[in-house]
């Protein structure tokens, strides 16, 4: 088939048709730098190194599946989600507009738990132990430095517990001075005051944690003023405090702030440590608007096993409170009025319905098994991308026209043959990109244009060689044959070494560099074919009408 000119032409036509076919059916995918979008690299968030490498790889593998489901439901066209190495997840969302929302969707753990609320009396006896543990862990002086609330010999809590509705006002006045003292740059006068107070409080009477707690607005709830939340969270994160808590009890924060009078508080719930049910038994979740309170809610349904357990548990705990915990935050803690079947709802307060939709989506897709951390993030606006494409195409066309012009002026008829070969080359490269589903990036365009240079070089090598043979006064046909065969070794060696470099780039490069390597590799293969097969065929066609001694235009 390759022996006759006709066979060669048919081969070229078939390959051209395949290239054009791929080009028009698949199209060429544009990289994020060209069409805009978001690129993320995520890893398991594990600064303390608590996971083993295998565990991290396992979490990433699960995350890949879950995030893929989430993104598919969210509806992004042609997302790329893949693991790189074993511990990193790459996500590319072309054309995405709302980056924050997409990120929230991807990063959210969506770990849903149902826990029983326990009365505050169950931690009451542990509170002095917790305070002592904090003082022991942080040192009495640093506690004194935190302000008076911590030191006030616990006149606070006991009285507060009996003050009922007035809770909000009393701590107000007691605390006005505290918050000032707690801030980092107290006025000199206040500091002196705080100093004197400090010396009076014996170490055993310091109440760093208990001092922050106010009586709650329901069973199993303490209220912590907004400005104290950070300190309280810090205390609760201490190893020593966790050990001081009763074994089966967990203290967890409410998601929404509560306003009381002029002040804002966060709820701290006393919960059973172990969840009796988690989100993995969820079957469906839908966002809705609760008409009664006009708030966004997510209705969920449990699978059969989950439903049975839910029904059993709630049946046994009628009158108790049930906390719905999402990613460690208590969304709500309603009272169990009756045995509940296989469905329930999560209240989102006055958040927009969109947020409820996203939450329903991530709940359906399932929870991440470990929190993820963003290692790399790139967002490109669409205007920048379009601009780059336009300019890249213009520059490419101008460059090609220049090259073709030089070839035509310098090699005349042979230059025209080279132009034919280069046209085949361009179709092959573009078709190859489409067939391999490769992404065209800005460096990719540069790689493309550069490989045009290589394709031209191959033709130049051949033509120069033919000229040399003609100068040596060989017959035309012999000169052409010799020209091709002598140029072959240089073309092979030059292309193969470049291919080696391109493949290494592909192996070790990321993102745009990879795009460059792909176009360069495809370009080299196409230039090989175009110079050695297409140019040759066209030459044979050109020579077919001539006698062996007729001059040729080169």
* Residues 492 to 531 in contact with another protein, rule: CB under 8 A: 493-494, 496-498, 500-502, 504-505, 507-513, 516-517, 520
Q: Which of 552, 221, 232 is nearest to 414 (CA)?
A: 552
Distance CA 96, CA 32 (A): 10
Give residues 470-489 in contact with another protein (rule: CB under 8 A): 471, 486, 489
Distance CA 477, CA 481 (A): 6
Nearer to another protein, 191 or 390 (CB): 390
Give residues 534-553 in contact with another protein (rule: CB under 8 A): none
Which residues touch 551 (CB under 8 Å, ≥6 apart)? 476
Q: Which of 445, 479, 522, 532 binds another protein (CB under 8 A)?
A: 445
Distance CA 298, CA 26 (A): 39
Q: Each residue of 8-22: b (16+ CB within 10 Å) or e?
A: beebbeebbeebeeb
Q: Least distance in Å: CB of 514 to another protein?
A: 9
Q: Least distance in Å: CB of 180 to another protein?
A: 27
Do the bridges between strand 263-272 and strand 249-260 make them parallel or antiparallel, or are there none, so unpaired? antiparallel
User: Residue 63 is encoded by which pair of tokens?
Assistant: 């995350």
The neighbouring-strand residues paired with 296 are 289
Give residues 408-427 in contact with another protein (rule: CB under 8 A): 409-410
Q: Least distance in Å: CB of 448 to another protein?
A: 10
233 binds another protein (CB under 8 A): no
Q: Least distance in Å: CB of 339 to another protein?
A: 44
Q: Least distance in Å: CB of 247 to another protein?
A: 33
Residue 45 parent element (H or E): none
Q: Which of 141, 205, 387, 550 binds another protein (CB under 8 A)?
A: 387
Q: Least distance in Å: CB of 271 to another protein?
A: 28
Nearer to another protein, 344 or 515 (CB): 515
Q: Which of 146, 403, 417, 518 binds another protein (CB under 8 A)?
A: 403
Query: Phi, psi (5° rounding) for residue 56?
Result: -65, -45
Q: Least distance in Å: CB of 473 to another protein?
A: 15
Nearer to another protein, 316 or 504 (CB): 504
176 binds another protein (CB under 8 A): no
- Count residues contacting another protein (CB under 8 A)? 72
Q: Which of 48, 54, 77, 100 binds another protein (CB under 8 A)?
A: 100
Q: Least distance in Å: CB of 359 to another protein?
A: 20
Cβ contact 271:321 at 8 Å: no
Distance CA 173, CA 416 (A): 92
Give residues 108-127 in contact with another protein (rule: CB under 8 A): none
461 binds another protein (CB under 8 A): yes
Q: Which of 31, 113, 19 is nearest to 80 (CA)?
A: 31
Inter-CA distances, 241 with 128, 202, 205, 332, Å? 11, 21, 17, 25
Q: Which of 31, 447, 483, 523 binds another protein (CB under 8 A)?
A: 447
381 binds another protein (CB under 8 A): yes
DSSP three-state, residue 334: coil
User: Residue 539 is encoded by which pair of tokens?
Assistant: 């030459």
Single out the segment in contact with another protein by CB under 8 A; choices: 98-106, 121-129, 304-312, 533-541.
Answer: 98-106
Q: Least distance in Å: CB of 431 to another protein?
A: 21
Nearer to another protein, 215 or 527 (CB): 527
Q: Which of 367, 422, 446, 522 binds another protein (CB under 8 A)?
A: 446
User: Residue 100 is encoded by which pair of tokens?
Assistant: 């924050």
Give residues 16-55 in contact with another protein (rule: CB under 8 A): 33, 41
Single out the segment in contact with another protein by CB under 8 A; choices: 9-17, 334-342, 343-351, 376-384.
Answer: 376-384
Q: Least distance in Å: CB of 229 to another protein?
A: 17
Q: Which of 10, 176, 192, 394 binds another protein (CB under 8 A)?
A: 394
Cβ contact 433:445 at 8 Å: no
Start-to-end Cα distance in the chain: 28
Q: Least distance in Å: CB of 428 to another protein?
A: 18
Single out the segment in contact with another protein by CB under 8 A; choices: 11-19, 239-247, 295-303, 383-391.
Answer: 383-391
Query: Phi, psi (5° rounding) for residue 342?
Result: -100, 10
Nearer to another protein, 368 or 461 (CB): 461
230 binds another protein (CB under 8 A): no
Single out the segment in contact with another protein by CB under 8 A; choices: 187-195, 220-228, 289-297, 461-469.
Answer: 461-469
Q: Least distance in Å: CB of 32 to another protein?
A: 10
User: Kindly report the CA angle at 304 between 298 and 307, in degrees rounded to 5?
Assistant: 55
Q: Least distance in Å: CB of 468 to another protein?
A: 7
Full DSSP string of 48-88: T--S-HHHHHHHHHHHHHHHHHHHHHHT-SS-EEEEETTTE
Cβ contact 148:178 at 8 Å: yes
Name the one residue in this structure whose structure tokens are 């066609």.
541
Q: Which of 295, 291, 254, 292 is nearest to 271 (CA)?
A: 254
Nearer to another protein, 67 or 342 (CB): 67
The neighbouring-strand residues paired with 80 are 92
Q: Each residue of 457-489: b (16+ CB within 10 Å) or e?
A: bbbbbbbebbeebbeeebebbebbbbbbebbbe
Nearer to another protein, 19 or 444 (CB): 444
């Amino acid at each position: 088939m390759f022996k006759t000119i006709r066979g060669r032409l048919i081969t070229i036509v078939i390959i051209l048709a395949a290239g054009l076919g791929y080009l028009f059916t698949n199209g060429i995918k544009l990289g994020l730098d060209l069409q805009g979008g978001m690129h993320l690299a995520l890893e398991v968030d594990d600064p303390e190194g608590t996971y083993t490498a295998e565990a991290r790889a396992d979490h990433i593998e699960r995350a890949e599946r879950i995030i893929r489901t989430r993104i598919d439901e969210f509806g992004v066209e042609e997302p790329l989600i893949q693991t790189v190495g074993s511990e990193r997840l790459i996500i590319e969302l072309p054309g995405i507009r709302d980056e924050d929302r997409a990120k929230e969707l991807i990063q959210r753990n969506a770990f849903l738990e149902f826990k029983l609320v326990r009365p505050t009396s169950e931690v009451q006896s542990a509170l002095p132990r917790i305070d002592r543990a904090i003082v022991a862990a942080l040192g009495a002086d640093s506690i004194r430095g935190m302000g008076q609330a911590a030191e006030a010999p616990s006149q606070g809590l006991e009285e507060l517990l009996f003050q009922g509705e007035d809770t909000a006002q009393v701590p107000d006045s007691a605390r006005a001075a505290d918050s000032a003292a707690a801030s980092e740059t107290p006025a000199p006068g206040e500091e002196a005051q705080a100093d004197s107070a400090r010396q009076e409080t014996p170490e055993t009477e310091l109440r760093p944690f208990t001092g922050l707690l106010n009586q709650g607005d329901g069973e199993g709830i303490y209220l912590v003023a907004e400005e104290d939340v950070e300190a309280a969270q810090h205390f609760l994160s201490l190893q020593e405090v966790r050990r001081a808590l009763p074994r089966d009890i967990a203290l967890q924060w409410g998601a929404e702030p509560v306003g009381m009078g002029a002040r804002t508080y966060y709820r701290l719930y006393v919960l059973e440590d172990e969840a009796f049910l988690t989100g993995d038994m969820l079957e469906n979740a839908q966002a809705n608007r609760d008409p009664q309170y006009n708030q966004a809610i997510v209705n969920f349904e449990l699978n059969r096993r989950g439903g049975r357990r839910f029904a059993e548990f709630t049946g046994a705990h009628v009158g108790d409170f049930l906390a719905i915990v999402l990613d460690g935050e208590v969304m709500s803690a309603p009272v169990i009025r009756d045995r509940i079947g296989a469905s329930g709802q999560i209240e989102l307060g006055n958040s927009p319905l969109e947020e409820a939709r996203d939450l329903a989506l991530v709940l359906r897709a399932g929870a991440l098994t470990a929190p993820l951390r963003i290692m790399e993030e790139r967002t490109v606006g669409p205007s920048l991308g379009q601009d780059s494409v336009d300019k890249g195409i213009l520059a490419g066309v101008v460059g090609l026209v220049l090259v073709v012009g030089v070839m035509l002026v310098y090699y005349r008829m042979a230059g025209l043959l080279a132009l034919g070969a280069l046209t085949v080359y361009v179709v092959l490269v573009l078709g190859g990109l489409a067939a391999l589903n490769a992404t065209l990036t800005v460096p990719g365009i540069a790689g493309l244009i550069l490989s045009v240079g290589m394709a031209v070089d191959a033709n130049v090598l051949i033509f120069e060689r033919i000229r040399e043979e003609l100068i040596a006064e060989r017959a035309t046909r012999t000169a052409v044959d010799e020209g091709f065969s002598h140029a072959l070794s240089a073309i092979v060696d030059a292309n193969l070494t470049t291919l080696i470099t391109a493949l290494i780039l592909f192996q070790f490069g990321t993102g745009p560099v990879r795009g460059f390597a792909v176009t360069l590799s495809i370009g080299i293969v196409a230039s090989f074919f175009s110079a050695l097969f297409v140019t040759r065929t066209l030459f044979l066609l050109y020579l077919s009408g001539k006698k062996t001694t007729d001059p040729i235009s080169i």
